[in-house]
Amino acid sequence: MTEEQLAMTAKALAHPARVRIVRLLAAQSECRGHDVFAGLPLAQSTISQHLRVLKSAGVIRSHAVGTSMVYCLNKPVLEEFLCALGEIASDAATCDPEQGDDR
């Protein structure tokens, strides 16, 4: 995974409202738009925007059901992201103590 791709996915997750959405979707598998809108203390238009960000990063997917939308996590994308980061982390030696921060 390139640095751009990693950064893109991270950016999609870089806002509390979006993390919340991801958690909602994880908790209930498929989730109607109304439930998402009701699950956050934000205007509908704002949430719609967050959904778009998540979707264009590939973190979630959506499809219409009747008159409304259903959103769900795109698990593979999330997993690939975790995997790529995990590899980086496991490469790292556990840079020991020397404890404090200086300067």
**Residue 8: beta bridge partners?**
none
Quote the CA–CA distance of 39 and 77 in Å, as a whole number: 23
Q: How many CB atoms lie within 10 A of CB 60?
A: 25
Query: Min. distance of Cβ 13 from a copy of itself in angstroms?
Result: 4
Query: Min. distance of Cβ 68 from a copy of itself in angstroms?
Result: 10
The helix/strand/coil state of 14 is coil
- Residues forming contacts to a copy of itself in the complex (CB under 8 A) are 3-4, 6-7, 10-11, 13-20, 22-23, 25-27, 29-30, 55, 61-64, 69, 72-75, 78-79, 81-82, 85-86, 88-89, 91-95, 98-103
